[in-house]
Every structure is written in C-alpha cells, then in structure tokens.
C-alpha cells in the first residue's frame, strides 16, 4: 500500500511539473524591457507599427480597410530598434498562416519614429542578445 501511495504522489508531482513547463513554453515570445530589432518576415522587411492592439489583431486576421492601414500605422524600416513594454500571449490569429502569434507593445528607439509607441506582431521581432533595459522607456 505504501508503494502505491508513493507511486501516486510521484505521478501527481510529475503531472504538475509537466503542466508548469508546458505553460511556460506557451508564454509570450519576449518580455518587458527586452530590446529588439523590427524586421518583417514577408517580402518587404519593413514593419507596420499599429496604434492599437485591436487594429493589429484585425489586420492580421484579414479584417481591415486600406484606409485603416494608412491612418493607423507607422511604417518602421527594417532594423528599427525598439524596447518591449507589454506582450499579449497568442492573441493574433493570422488569416493566411497556420498558428497564432503574440501582440507586442513597443517603444521605438531608433529611426525617424524614435519615441513613438505602438503594437507589432511577435514574428516581426528579432532579439538583440545581451540587450535588455532596466528601464523600458529608454
């Protein structure tokens, strides 16, 4: 009986650890304060930086008007540096690609839009290794 109880306890502990590891694997692609470089994976490497998370999500889902793109985005050149302010896990559901992505709130650190805030899809982020900011507004 003691052996069965130990086995059950061990199995329960293993299941709890597995669920923690799985939930960590599903977490956002980046964290607050991380410095990143923006480059799109599409044919045009420039990145749309949206003025709201809702518009980013709708655009990625294929639900947008051209006027919305023109009035509610900045077109950040490939290589623009940014710092992550917030990340919303798995809220972007691209229409033409299987899978999901994160919506990431950023502050641009370089280029003509330096100092501007906006939202990008996680696929457009490239980590700058060894670069994080203790104060995400700088």
* 38 within domain boundaries: yes
* 9 within domain boundaries: no
* 123 within domain boundaries: yes
Beta strands in the chain (DSSP E): 34-38, 47-50, 73-76, 80-92, 101-108, 117-121, 125-132
At residue 129, the pLDDT reads: 76
Q: Is the pLDDT of residue 45 over 80?
A: yes
Residue range 20-43: average pLDDT?
79
Structural domain boundaries enclosing 105: 28-132
Domain count, the chain: 1
Which residues, listed in sequence order, are joined to residue 84 by a DSSP beta bridge?
Answer: 106
* 8 within domain boundaries: no
- The pLDDT tens digits of the residues spanning 84-124 come to 999 999 999 999 888 999 999 999 999 999 999 999 999 99
Residue range 26-32: average pLDDT?
88
**Does 130 or 26 have the greater pLDDT score?**
130
Neighbours of 125 (CB within 10 A): 23
Q: Is the pLDDT of residue 58 over 50?
A: yes
* 99 within domain boundaries: yes
pLDDT band at 17; cut points 50, 70, 90: very low
Neighbours of 3 (CB within 10 A): 7
């Amino acid at each position: 009986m003691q052996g069965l109880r130990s086995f059950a306890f061990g199995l329960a502990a293993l299941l709890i650890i597995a669920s923690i590891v799985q939930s960590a694997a599903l977490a956002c692609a980046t964290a607050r304060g991380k410095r990143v470089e923006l480059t799109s994976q599409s044919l045009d490497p420039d990145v749309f930086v949206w003025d709201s998370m809702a518009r980013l999500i709708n655009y990625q889902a294929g639900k947008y008007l051209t006027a919305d793109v023109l009035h509610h985005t900045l077109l950040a050149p490939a290589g623009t540096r940014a710092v992550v302010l917030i990340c919303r896990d798995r809220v972007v559901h691209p229409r033409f690609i299987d899978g999901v992505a994160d919506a990431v709130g950023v502050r641009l650190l370089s280029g003509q839009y330096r100092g501007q805030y906006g939202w990008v899809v996680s696929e457009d982020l490239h980590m700058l290794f060894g670069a994080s900011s203790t104060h995400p507004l700088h």
